[in-house]
Amino acid sequence: MLALDIGNSNVVIGLHDGNAWKHVWRIPTITDDDVNFYKLQIANHWVETNLPAEVVRQVMISSVVPLLTNPIIAFCADLFTCPVQLAGPAIYREIELEVLRPHEIGSDLVANAYAASRIFAGKDALIVDFGTALTFVAVGRDKKLHGVSIAPGLRTAIKALNTETAKLPEVPLVFPDTVTGKDTVHAIQSGVLIGYEGLIKHLIARYRAELNEALIVIATGGLVGRVEALHKYFDHILPELTLDGLRLMASHIGQRATDA
E strands, the chain, are: 2-6, 10-16, 21-28, 59-63, 84-86, 125-130, 133-139, 145-152, 216-220, 236-237
DSSP letter at 193 equals: I
User: Which position among 108, 124, 129, 244 bears the catalytic label?
Assistant: 108
SS3 content of the chain, % helix, strand, coil (to 5): 45, 20, 35
Q: Assess whether 108 carries a catalytic annotation.
A: yes
Residue 135 bridge partners (DSSP) = 129, 150
Burial (CB count within 10 angstroms: exposed 0-12, middle 13-18, buried 19+), residue 226 = middle
Grouping H, G, I as helix, E, B as strand and the rest as coil, residue 109 is: helix
Residues marked active site are found at 108
